[in-house]
Amino acid sequence: MNVFEEAKKIEEYIIEMRRHFHKYPEISWKEVNTSNKICEELDKMNIPYTRVCETGVIGVVEGKKKKPVIGIRADIDALPMKEETDLEFKSVNEGVAHACGHDSHIAMLLGTAKVLSENKDKLECTVKLVFQPAEEFIMDSGAGHKILVDEMKDIDNIVAAHIWNKIDAGTISVDPGPRMSSADTFKIEIKGKGGHGAMPADAIDPIVTAGAVLSSLQTIVSRELPPSEPCVISVCSFNSGSAPNIIPEVAVLQGTTRTFNSDIRESYLERMERIIKNTCESFRADYSFEYYPGSPPTINEENSSMVAEEAVRKVLGEEGLVECDPSMGGEDFAKMLAKIPGCIAFIGTRNEEKGKVYSIHHPKFDIDESVMKNGVAFFVQYVLDMQYKI
């Protein structure tokens, strides 16, 4: 079977699916119509499925053997943001947009399902098609984890892909090792004593205290951690006060931490608490500190990456396989990789001639749709090769 040609035959279908999901995006845990459409398409292919986690779907394509079981995962939720494109199929749901490529992820997995279901005689394994909700819901413990516990314990290997505009259309990166960072979040509430802005000695200023906390937190990365380790502590929200002459009672800081190193990730909580506590004490303020564990680092398992690299060569040639720097963005597929060997591929979509240059989460983000067949071909070839490597 010429896998790339099989994917090319259904390119029109893949694009049609992507445009449908792009036009009707739904945010995390609200992907009801998205889930229904996925099930409708699986029904047309006679692929049995189970609904999980309310809006998740897991389809099953059985080949000649029940084992091994290879999983392919696609995230299905959109972002709570306004789209600023002029696409004919732009979002009709105000304030919701597929600005991270999940619409194409769904389309590629449905395309893969179509190719696999029509070529079951080539399968010496069972394939689980995992349509995962709520990947963008970073304050949650993660939909990936919820699905994993109940529905994925029989999967022997798992693969995913993310549309990636850091690399050119027509290329794919499947490097082993760290691919995306951990993604935890935090909230710090500084509690002072309100008063008149002209009489600061009678107050305990939470804004000044919070400013000192903010600055001191930056020294964790610059002075406590090795320069060779990529690490981030970002305060992304600072809210306090309501008038120019009133010292408020409370200041609230919110932000995120990132790293590829699990030991450093585990140390963030203690390091941050120490600085917050001591700084607040020196300014006579009280505080509360909440730290929300999100996704661990996304680490490609070496053997899976080797199989993936060969799959890319087979469908796109040697020139289609490229290296790509890891990203400090987070990805809750990491929770699956922490339990199951596998890898995530970056599907290159950057095309300056077509103007497809905006980064993910940008209101003008769009993709070169011609690359989606590459993702389908990669998934199918990966399954065909991995079934003999487990």
Burial class (CB in 10 A: 0-12, 13-18, 19+), 121: exposed
Is 323 in the active site? no
For 75-91, what is each residue's pLDDT tens digit?
A: 999 999 999 999 999 99
For 301-358, what is each residue's pLDDT tens digit?
A: 999 999 999 999 999 999 999 999 999 999 999 999 999 999 999 999 999 999 999 9
Residue with tokens 């987070």: 330
Sign of CA dihedral 315, 317, 318, 324: negative
For 21-71, what is each residue's pLDDT tens digit?
A: 999 999 999 999 999 999 999 999 999 999 999 999 999 999 999 999 999
Task: Dig out the tokens for 218 from the structure.
Answer: 């930056």
For 155-192, what is each residue's pLDDT tens digit?
A: 999 999 999 999 999 999 999 999 999 999 999 999 99
**Residue % of the chain over a pLDDT of 90:** 95
From the list 221, 217, 241, 242, the residue with the least C-alpha distance to 232 is 221
- At residue 114, the 3 state secondary structure works out as helix
Give the active site residue among 75, 77, 83, 331: 77
Question: Can you list the domains of the chain with their CATH numbers?
Answer: 3-179+296-386 (3.40.630.10), 183-294 (3.30.70.360)
Task: Note the pLDDT of residue 138.
Answer: 65
Cα 3 to Cα 190: distance, rounded to the nearest angstrom:
58
- Under the banding of pLDDT at 50, 70 and 90, the label for residue 147 is confident
Task: Dig out the tokens for 89 from the structure.
Answer: 């199929």
Cα 338 to Cα 342: distance, rounded to the nearest angstrom:
9
Give the active site residue among 6, 135, 175, 331: 135
For 177-236, what is each residue's pLDDT tens digit?
A: 999 999 999 999 999 999 999 999 999 999 999 999 999 999 999 999 999 999 999 999
Q: Is the pLDDT of residue 139 over 80?
A: no
In three state form, how does the secondary structure of 15-80 look? HHHHHHHHHCCCECCCCHHHHHHHHHHHHHCCCCEEEECCCEEEEEEECCCCCCEEEEEEECCEEC
Q: Is the pLDDT of residue 256 over 70?
A: yes
- Under the banding of pLDDT at 50, 70 and 90, the label for residue 141 is low
Cα 15 to Cα 18: distance, rounded to the nearest angstrom:
5
Phi/psi of residue 228, each to 5°? -75, -10
- Under the banding of pLDDT at 50, 70 and 90, the label for residue 137 is confident
Is 366 in the active site? no
- Under the banding of pLDDT at 50, 70 and 90, the label for residue 149 is confident
From the list 163, 201, 211, the residue with the least C-alpha distance to 366 is 163
Task: Note the pLDDT of residue 150.
Answer: 75
